Amino acid sequence: MGLSAEKIDKVRHEFEYFDSDSSGYLDSNEFRLMFKVIAPEASRKECDEAFAAIDEDGSGKIEFDEFLEWWESNWSVY
């Protein structure tokens, strides 16, 4: 399927918005804030499980490529 360049730019903008310290990745606190916006009914456990699943390399951080892959798989209709 793949996202259009315009959609990727939109996702990057969202990623950068929640990357509050401009580190280039989302830490668990930044991700938790973002997750509560897109899935307000989710529990903290669900959020932590999502973080662990997205953090493919186990770095404790979510880089944009990991985030984009997750977004495309789960939220690309938005």
Does 5-74 carry CATH code 1.10.238.10? yes
Q: Tens of pLDDT along 18-42?
A: 999 999 999 999 999 999 998 899 9
* Whether the predicted pLDDT of 2 surpasses 90: no
Provide the strand spans (E) within the chain. 25-26, 62-63
* DSSP reduced 3-state for 25: strand
The confidence score (pLDDT) of residue 29 equals: 96
Helices and strands counted in the chain (H then E)? 4, 2
Which tokens in the block code for residue 52?
A: 């662990």
Which tokens in the block code for residue 54?
A: 């997205």
* Of the candidate ranges 8-12, 30-34, 60-64, 72-76, the one whose mean pLDDT is the lowest: 72-76
Its pTM stands at 0.85
